[in-house]
Amino acid sequence: MTPRTLVMGVVNVTPDSFSDGGQWFEQDVAIAHGRHLLAQGADILDIGGESTRPGAERVSLAEELQRVVPVVEALAAAGAVISVDTMRAAVATAALDAGASIINDVSGGLADPEMVALVVDGDFEYVVSHWRGHSDVMAGRATYVDVVGDVVGELRGRLAAIIAAGVAPERLIVDPGLGFAKEGADNWRLLAHLDALTALGHRVLVGASRKRFLGQLLADAGAESLPVFRDRATAAVTALVAAHGVWGVRVHEVAGSVDAVRVAQALRSAENEPSSDGREGTP
């Protein structure tokens, strides 16, 4: 059977996340939320202690460590596969020691010069995202000649640099960085051309969940567009990209995307079954 898309549930241990407004900021609440996402069917939990919403200011290293490490320890002890959303090598190191097995770096190793060396020396999986700068400057850098070609080209260069440093290619996962230095239409173009991303030869992670471009779409249709009302649109994106065969989706509301993956998997399986006259289905 075709491997199914994995669902990565988000646990934001922050007071200022765009998606949930700090709902899971307290550690006990964050841990309980992580357990809830696991019960809903999350394959991976992605734990982050620093908001990357547009305009967000960076937190101190000490604060990020204090937010993230206890939650990683508790949820890893509960048997969860843990990813940690951080741009700092020191946080990544502490999180790995606490039980994480994936580092999800939205800067692709550009924010911290020590990150790539950590990846070289480690045995964890590393998510390389397309990135053009921190939250306070990225909105001014959303200028592209051809967003698909430019993003793929910049990712290709970043992947080449990380591999040249000594990281095995099979440890790397690619994320197009939806919403990071990208206007609404840019995100749709990237989703419409996932084949260009998969052609890079690495697993692809898509993080469209509750993002502004979905809110803009819903608002244009006269629907409620606040982040918490974007989950059905998120699940629709999950179904589409899962049908395309991406490795994973990063989402805030897990149950809807788990169902969406099931639908996509059933469709992909049916496409490969012989038809009644003995011919293979359309690949």
Active site residue 182: no
Parallel, antiparallel, or unpaired for β 82-85 and 248-251? unpaired
pLDDT digits (tens, 9 = 90+) for 110-148: 999 999 999 999 999 999 999 997 877 777 788 899 999
What average pLDDT is seen over the chain?
91
pLDDT band for 222, please (50, 70, 90 cuts). confident
Name the more confident of 222 and 115: 115
Residue 272 has pLDDT above 70, yes or no: yes
Residue 135: partners with Cβ closer than 8 Å, 6 or more residues away: 51, 52, 53, 54, 55, 56, 57
**pLDDT at site 225:** 77
13-71 pLDDT per residue, tens: 987 555 555 565 678 899 999 999 999 999 999 999 998 766 677 889 999 999 999 99
pLDDT tens, residue by residue, 60-112: 999 999 999 999 999 999 999 999 999 999 999 999 999 999 999 999 999 99
pTM: 0.90
Residue 112: per-residue pLDDT:
96
Q: Give the pair of three-digit tokens for residue 244.
A: 């395309």
List Cβ neighbours of 106 (8 Å cut-off, separation of 6 or more). Answer: 52, 85, 87, 129, 131, 175, 177, 180
Give me the catalytic one of 211, 212, 230, 268. 211
Using 50, 70 and 90 to split pLDDT, how confident is the model at 171?
very high
Q: What is the pLDDT of residue 226?
A: 83
Give the per-residue pLDDT at 208: 96
Q: How many residues does the chain have?
A: 283
How far is Cα of residue 253 from the mean position of the Cα atoms in its chain?
Answer: 13
